[in-house]
Each structure stands twice: as structure tokens, then as C-alpha cells.
Structure 1
């Protein structure tokens, strides 16, 4: 079911451990680097653990016995160890930052590549903004997770275990007092985990919806301004932004419980330790140095707990993003290349055998369509909007597979042809021409990336685009914005025509390529198209029937079926649907001409 801009995506609930396992697979290529980081972490952790014990020695042995030389020696050892620790901490931070950013790059690249492989059906169901939110926002949110998983999770876990072990080794009874609040904290943290995870999922969904709306808004800014709809769109944006804010506040309220609970447990544990510790000093069970060392070890025990709670918060937040990323990566393309698919040097014969197709699995757009087109033939597809014209060419390009029947090219089932081989020899020129940000030279070269500058220029000359290109300030190096907005509609179509010709396709599809342009440019475009059509099998979708009178055959499509077939003269003699459409357009054209004159 398609997602609207205002509708949040539905995500399946997945086991967190499975998602974590998938995430941490990205760490495998960096085992050596991670081992080096862990070595630096081990050094820092060892020094931190040694500091309180060295303090105990300094107090109980050297201060108590008034031994300044021993005290200076311990001080020098502490200084040296902490300098080494600081250096290792710096190296650890540098290396983990490099590893994390490489991993994020790999995840983003994998997601981008996977999305490019997905079928048109995937893009039909989702606004572009929501896809961008996955590739940019959700992937970025994983940065802290990978960073903290190495720098916090592993060392802090070992620090907690090592600190507890040392405390029980020094005095089991005092250690029990110090850690009395630990079970209470664990129960509290786990009890709020589920709520926190769901709330952060909702934050990511609301952000995605806002991102999709913003993308659509600025893509259609001209329409918004034409119809004076700024206030209407502003109100929608405000509503969506408020939804994000509300979801974030609810998530943060849960997150804010973590640190206070840790600090409360730490504080109560410290009070209990000092209360019983002072009694034990008076009874001679422990020394002052041991109690001071214990106070430091208690801090060392609870500080990693705080770090781990912060990591846990980040984990909960990141899990929502990870679920959204893997939800996309788990989608399989509808169009899959057969294992036995072959390269095919296309001659241009196209045949439909009882082809039926539906976009939604319910309403048939094509039903039992059959025809055969011979190499070099010009076929025009005409019919009312929604009749099935564009669907036919989408199936030829194998953007979708038919529900029933076969599509053959040169007698080979289209599903048995390698996708790259098929699409390399097809070219489509749309009415709504899309140009990429970059130079005109680069946009023409998209038709064949290996083309030289000279080939690009010669191709532009062949389709009468060269004159307008060289008249621009920087000629072929002129930069165009996204969708080519700096060029007129006719100029964009001439660039598109050059891009199509340089691809040297065997099968050509023109979707009303001469619409919405001035008469002079249309004449140039028609001459260029005539050049392009020579010797190629072509399918021309036309709404203006005057442009297809020279077609070898015309297919009239109604309700997903070919109801009439023949050339212009044959169909006019039949006085059927085509005849009525042509006469209707001719009358309308005559009336418009009369009004103008």
C-alpha cells in the first residue's frame, strides 16, 4: 500500500538482537584496527583501576609511616602511568573516529546501492523525501552507536567487572554494602526499555514524514507560489513539525529517567558504604586508605554504569533507525534477473502474447494484449489518459513484469535477457524531461558514459541542439540546475534528444516528446526526432494525433485493450474511435486558429 506524506510508515517489530547482529557485521572488516583500539582501551582501563590502589598504598604505607621518598616514588609512578593513559586515550579516539566513519560510509553505500536496484513499484509507494530520510538521517544516527560500542560498551563492561572483583577482593562485606543498589537499578532500567524503544521509533517516523513533506514542498515551490498556497503549506509544516516535537519530548522524558536513577543508586550506595565503612574503621576491620580507595572504586563502578545507560539510550534511539534501514534492505526487487539470462544483440522485433498487467494486483491496466512489431517499424500508441499506453512501454523496458502472458524481443522472452543488455539498447524520451545538476556536456553523455567530447558535440549537431548550446555563456560547460530549470522546455527536450541519440538505441520510445514547446523549437525537434527514428523500432505515445500520421501502424488503446490497429488512412476510413479522436482534435485546432486570427 502506498505511503502518503502524512502517513507514517508501518514497521514490523523485530528482535533487537537480530538487528544488532546485522549492524555489528559491519565491524568485521576492521578487526585489526579494533584490536589496536582495544589495546589502548585496556591500557587506559588498567591505569584507572590502578590509581585507587596506589592511593591506598600511599596513605596506608608512606603517609602513615611518614616516608616522603616512598610517597614521591608512588607519585612519580602515578604521573607516568597517567601520561601513558592520556596518550592511549588520544590514539583510541582518533582511530575509533576513522573506523566509525568508514562503517557509516559502508552502510550508506549499501543502502543507496540497494535502493537503486529496487523496482519502480517501490518508488511508486513512497515519497522521495522518506527514502532520503533513511539514507541520510537514519544512517547518520548510527554514528554514535558504533563509536560508543567500542569506546564505551566493551571497556565499561570490563571496568564494572574488574572494579567489582577488586572491591570484593579487598573487602567482600564493604563491597556488598557499596553494590546494594545495583539490582534495584537493573530492574528499573529494564522496566522502561520497551516504552523508550517505541517512543524513539515514533520520533524517527515523524522526522521521516516531515522530511518527505519538506522535499515535496520545495520541489513544487513554483506551483505553491502560482496558487498562493504558502500559508496553507506553512500550516501543514507547522503541524508536522509540532508532531516531531511532541514525539521527541515524550521520548526524552523516558530517557531522562536513566541518569537520575543511576545517580540516585550511586549516591545511596556511597552513603551506605561510608556509614558502614566508618564503623569498620573504628572496629579496626579496615584502614582509612582502604575506605578512600573504596570510595574511588565505587565511583569507578557507577561511572561506567552511567556511560552504559547513556549507551543504552543511544542504542534504543539507534534501534529505531536501524529497523528503518533494514526494513528497506530487506525488500527484494520485483524485477529479478534470471540466472540463465543472456546478452542479446537486439534487432528490434517486439511481440506481446496475451499480456495482462495490474499495478495493485486488483484492477487490470492491460488485459490479454497481443501484437507483433517488426524491426524498424514506427508504432504510435494513442488513447485516452489511463488507457494503458505508458504501461506498454514500461513493460517493454521491463520496469515491471506482466502478470500473465509473455513479452518477446527478437523471439526471446524479455525475462531471459540480462537487464543491462536490454536497457542499454533501449532509450526513452519523456515529455517531462529530467536533467541532472551538472553541465550540458555531462547531461548528454548520460546516454553513453564512454562518449568523447567530440562525439557529444557531433550528436548535438545531428539533432539541432548545437546552435542553442554554443549560444550560452559557457557553451557545453554551462551548468544547469536540478531538472534543468535554467533552460527552456524546448532546450531541455533538445538536450534530451541528443542524450537519447548518443545512446544509439535499437528500440526507441517517445512519450509525447514535442509537447509544450514553441513552433520554431518543435520544428527543430521534429527534424531531430526524424533523424533518431531512422532504422530503429520505435513506439510513440502521442496525444496530438497530427504528429503520428506517418507512423507505420497506430494502436488505439481503450480500457487496457488494443481496439483498433492500422495506419492513419486505414483508421480514418474505419470511422471508429481514432477517426472521432482525430476529427475532434482537428475541430478544436481550427477553432483555436480562428480565435487567434
Structure 2
């Protein structure tokens, strides 16, 4: 849970929020102006009723009574109209601010390093970007502006009451200190309860996101009952947090009603005596009854609105904690060569995800333009880390990585990544059309280019058979496609972007033999004229590589061509013998 300021209102935080109000100054000004008008209109109706009773009803002045009735209806209509625009503008302001803020948060999140996502639950980020942002909208529609309006209304009502009869006003305000104390106690209690609610909402979102995403694993291993029990515990905590907050409301509101009844009782007692003593008129008592109701309502709601403001501040603090995260890949490079060749050089590279638990140790190799480098080794040897570094998903600790003799940190980041196409074993497809999953909504890539790339891969036929062809919706994570079909789409994606550097990370590991044969020729064609780095467990797919590097615990153990490594009779040869013998394939001698 984000650290919450102990201040009633964090001014520095409000300033940051109001930075997003600047484009909507006119709406904000109108909201404040309408708030002031509403506060000024509040005491008018009770005063008109007092005037009507004392001057026109008592004197049986029918014409005057009719005029006052029309005036009161007019005031009511004006008040209704002002209230409508006030609600309309404050909500527009709140939604406009969170629209811009949500864009800022999303842009910032997409620029963060992968290291940040390694330790931050996705469900937590969803909570920040969706529900926490909604609490900021409430600052304008139900919080700050409404609080200002309620305070102005209280001041206006008390001022009119004092002007009308200061003695009666002091009498009916005797219970007011009790209300102030009760409101303060309620505010502090409900603030703590709301913070717990937000924490439990975040926990619930995180659990749901992870378990719905991993539903296959849960079902594969028949873990439904165990996970339901976990969900029940988290859901119970979520329920208890809400019940706790509702419990405070169930106590506070009756207390306010009791205090309001005390004021009303004092009014009846003092007002009756004053009427009998001919010190005040009956109209004054009637107007004061209305004033008491109008006075206690905003005071009662002030505590609630203040906590709405507090929750908006808590949400803002959580949001800005994400925006203040500095784990962004620095994009200070300016290099954008017109003709990138794809010459890759790793020189004495050391890399660790955490502290000095080295994943790569003093790695050095050179891949000339157009060459193919293959990386082999056991799980955790550092193969995928090598390509993550090349894309600058993670930054190295020591050494240097260069492309065409230029350090990768000197390239403009978007330029660097646009020239490296990576095909992964675990293909991610968005809930969108096949076309948009290939071009990633890049309008510069034409349908003709998509069709040509699909034809090269050998995927055009299966795409044409789908309803809508390239406009077929693959659903979430490509659920309506087979693993092989999804992998073929990832190859088309790599082709249409025409990269200078191609990375295949276990790209055929999840593909059946028939599909692998289908795309093998396309891979060969895709590699022509491009620098390629291939990570593969199937050694049959890398025998034609110009150079093979054997990694073990982040160190280069062997390096050479397929035939050279077989002659060494080392790690690669043992792996080769083990794999080919287990597959029943006679290796070439």
C-alpha cells in the first residue's frame, strides 16, 4: 500500500493533480462560480417563506402571497438549473482530468524496464490505472469543490440566521460542538477503513488477474478447489473492509440525527417562549426549522466528502508513485544510421538481474553482418538474457554491446528496437484481428505486404480459410488458433517489419513437425542478408549456423561451427549425441 500522508490535505499533491486541470481552466472556473452561486441561493427560500408567513399570510394578502409563490418557484427553478450545470461541469472536469492522467500513466508504464514488471504484480498496476484513478475524479465531482460549496453554504446560512435573530441562532447552535467532534472522529475512522478497502481491492484484482490468466495451469493440475479457498479468504478480507467502513456510517449518521433533533428541540423551546413574549414572529421559527435542516445536511456530509477527498489523495499518491518510478530505459541516444548493417559485438559483458548474481560473465563475441549465431545451453545458461540485453530490455553492469561499432545506448531506442525482430517461443497475440496482430496497428504496412509475407511463410492458405481472413478476430491471447498457427503469425510479423537483425528465441520449440517443416524454408529466406541470433534446443535447426556458442552458467564454454564443436568432443557433442540418440536419428559422421 502506498504511504499515505498524515496531512489533512497534501498541498504538493494537490498541485500535481491541478497540473492536469490547466487544459480545462474554463470548466474549473465555471464549476467554482456555480458553487458560489449555489451557496448564495441556499438561504433564500427559508427567508422568502419567513417573509410570506409574517407579511402576506398573517395579513391575508392574496396578491402578495401569489407573487411570493411565483418568486419561490422561480428561485427553485434557478437553483435546480444551477445544480444541474454544477454537477455536469464537475463531472466533466473530473473525467477529463483522469482521462489525461490515465494516458500519462499508461505511457509511463509502457516505458518502464522489464525489471520493474518482474517484481510488480500486473493486477496492482491495473488497480492503479483503473480504480485508483477513478477516486481522483471524485476529488472534483464529490470532494474538493463540493466541500468548498458546503462550507460556503454553511457560512451563508449562519450569516442569514445571525442577521435574522442572533440570540435564537446561538441557542440552536449549542449542539454544534458535539457535531464537530463526531465528524472529526468519523473522518479519522473512515479514512483508515477506506485505505484498507483500497488495499483489499488491489489484492483482489491481482489475484483475479493472475489466476484467470493462468487458468489452464489450475485446471491441468486440478487445483480449482485449493484456489477457490484462497479466493474465499481474499474475498472475505475485501468484504470485511467494506463492512467496517459501513459500520462507521451506521453509527455516525444516527448520531448526527440525534444532534440535529437537539437543535430542533432547543429551537422549539426558545422559539415558543419568544413568540409568546412577542420577541419574534412565527415566520422566524419556521425559517429556522428549514435553516437547521439545511445547516446540518452539509455539515453531516462534510465528513463524508472530506474522506472522498482523502481517498482521492490516496489514489493520487498511488498513481504518482508509479509516475515517479525512475526505472525507465534511458532514451538519450541520437544515432539513427540510414543503413544499419547489423554488425553485433559483445565485449566483456557482465550482467545480473539482482545485485551480483551474475547471469552473464565476461561474454565476448562478434557477429558480422549477414551471419547467423546460435546460442545453446541448459535452462538458465544466459541465452535469453543475451537477446534481452541486445534489445535494451535490461542494462548491462559492465562491458559494452555495439551494433555497427556504435554502442547500443547511443541509438535512439525506438530506432534500435525497430531494426531487431524477435520471435519468441511463447507467442503473445492481442484480442484483435490477424492483420492488426501482424502489423501492430502500423498503418504504413499495407495489406499487400501482409499477404506477401504470409505467402512466404506458407500461412496464407490457413488465414484465407478463417472467417474474414486477415480480419478474423483471434480473441484473447489467440485462444481460437493453434500453437502452430500463432507461431506462424509471429513469423509473418517479423517479415513485414523487414528487420536488419533477426532473433529467434526457441521459435520452433512449440511447433509440430509438419508446421516446423512448413516454416523452415521461410526462416532460411528470412535470414538471408540479415544478422541472425538463434536460440534453440533442437540442434537440428542450428547446424548451418556460422557460429555456435555453448553457454553454461553465464560463461562461454565452447565456440565454433557445428563440425568444429563435434570434433572437440565436449559439451556440444555430448548434447548432440544425447538429443539425436533419444530421437532415434542417425547422426552424420
Which residue does the alignment assign to 1:235?
229
Supply the distance in 2 between the matched residues of 1:24 and 1:133 (Cα, whole angstroms).
22
Q: Taking structure 1 as reference, are residues 379 and 591 closer, same or farther at Cα in structure 2, changes over 3 Å only?
A: closer
Give 1:121-132 correspondences, 5 Å limit: 121-132=115-126
Deviations 1:55-89 (A, max 9, x none): 22222222333322222222221122222222332
Which residue does the alignment assign to 2:245?
251
Deviation at 1:324, TM superposition (A): 2.5
Supply the distance in 1 between the matched residues of 2:85 and 2:218 (Cα, whole angstroms).
52
Supply the distance in 1 between the matched residues of 2:194 and 2:583 (Cα, whole angstroms).
59
Deviation at 1:591, TM superposition (A): 8.2
Deviations 1:226-278 (A, max 9, x none): 22222122111111111111122123323444433332332222222332232
Q: Indicate which of 46, 58, 76 corresponds to 2:52.
A: 58
Q: Check the 8 A contact 1:201/1:321 in 2, yes or no.
A: no
Unmatched 5+ stretches in structure 1: 1-9
Give 1:130-149 correspondences, 5 Å limit: 130-149=124-143
Of stretches 343-352 and 583-592 in structure 1, the one that deviates more from structure 2 is: 583-592
TM-score, length basis structure 1? 0.92
Q: Indicate which of 364, 382, 389 corresponds to 2:383.
A: 389
Q: Taking structure 1 as reference, are residues 255 and 401 closer, same or farther at Cα in structure 2, changes over 3 Å only?
A: farther
Q: Check the 8 A contact 1:353/1:370 in 2, yes or no.
A: yes
Deviation at 1:389, TM superposition (A): 0.7
Supply the distance in 1 between the matched residues of 2:21 and 2:247 (Cα, whole angstroms).
32
Deviation at 1:399, TM superposition (A): 0.4
Give 1:273-292 correspondences, 5 Å limit: 273-292=267-286
Deviation at 1:42, TM superposition (A): 4.1
TM-score, length basis structure 2? 0.93
Which residue does the alignment assign to 1:552?
546
Q: Indicate which of 327, 336, 347 corresponds to 1:343.
A: 336
Supply the distance in 2 between the matched residues of 1:332 and 1:260 (Cα, whole angstroms).
48
Supply the distance in 2 between the matched residues of 1:592 and 1:242 (Cα, whole angstroms).
61
Which residue does the alignment assign to 1:12?
3
Supply the distance in 1 between the matched residues of 2:250 and 2:136 (Cα, whole angstroms).
20
Supply the distance in 1 between the matched residues of 2:468 and 2:54 (Cα, whole angstroms).
82
Q: Taking structure 1 as reference, are residues 68 and 571 closer, same or farther at Cα in structure 2, changes over 3 Å only?
A: same
3-state SS of paired residue (2:141)? helix
Q: Indicate which of 91, 94, 102 corresponds to 1:100.
A: 94
Deviation at 1:194, TM superposition (A): 3.7
Q: Check the 8 A contact 1:448/1:503 in 2, yes or no.
A: no
Q: Check the 8 A contact 2:183/2:300 in 1, yes or no.
A: no
Q: Indicate which of 396, 400, 406 corresponds to 1:402.
A: 396
Q: Taking structure 1 as reference, are residues 104 and 183 closer, same or farther at Cα in structure 2, changes over 3 Å only?
A: same
Deviations 1:453-490 (A, max 9, x none): 11110111112111221232332222211221211111
Which residue does the alignment assign to 2:105?
111
Give 1:157-196 correspondences, 5 Å limit: 157-196=151-190
Q: Check the 8 A contact 1:200/1:320 in 2, yes or no.
A: no
Which residue does the alignment assign to 1:76?
70
Deviation at 1:39, TM superposition (A): 4.0
Which residue does the alignment assign to 2:79?
85
3-state SS of paired residue (2:360)? strand
Which residue does the alignment assign to 2:320?
326
Structure 1 residue 485 corresponds to structure 2 residue 479: yes
Deviation at 1:520, TM superposition (A): 1.8
Q: Check the 8 A contact 2:187/2:303 in 1, yes or no.
A: no
Deviation at 1:295, TM superposition (A): 2.1
Supply the distance in 1 between the matched residues of 2:398 and 2:4 (Cα, whole angstroms).
35
Of stretches 340-349 and 351-360 in structure 1, the one that deviates more from structure 2 is: 340-349
3-state SS of paired residue (2:160)? helix
Structure 1 residue 519 corresponds to structure 2 residue 510: no
Supply the distance in 2 between the matched residues of 1:466 and 1:363 (Cα, whole angstroms).
46
Supply the distance in 2 between the matched residues of 1:215 and 1:381 (Cα, whole angstroms).
34
Which residue does the alignment assign to 1:571?
565
Deviations 1:347-380 (A, max 9, x none): 2112222221111224111122222222111111
Q: Taking structure 1 as reference, are residues 466 and 168 closer, same or farther at Cα in structure 2, changes over 3 Å only?
A: same
Calculate the aligned-residue CA RMSD, in Å.
2.2
Q: Indicate which of 422, 440, 444 corresponds to 1:446.
A: 440
Supply the distance in 1 between the matched residues of 2:158 and 2:560 (Cα, whole angstroms).
89
Q: Taking structure 1 as reference, are residues 333 and 303 closer, same or farther at Cα in structure 2, changes over 3 Å only?
A: same
Unmatched 5+ stretches in structure 2: none
Deviation at 1:557, TM superposition (A): 0.9
Supply the distance in 1 between the matched residues of 2:37 and 2:448 (Cα, whole angstroms).
62
Give 1:348-387 correspondences, 5 Å limit: 348-387=342-381
3-state SS of paired residue (2:21)? helix
Deviation at 1:395, TM superposition (A): 0.4
3-state SS of paired residue (2:77)? helix
Deviation at 1:303, TM superposition (A): 1.4
Give 1:404-423 correspondences, 5 Å limit: 404-423=398-417
Q: Indicate which of 293, 299, 305 corresponds to 1:311.
A: 305
Deviation at 1:444, TM superposition (A): 1.6
Of stretches 56-65 and 517-526 in structure 1, the one that deviates more from structure 2 is: 56-65
Deviation at 1:554, TM superposition (A): 0.9
Deviation at 1:41, TM superposition (A): 4.0
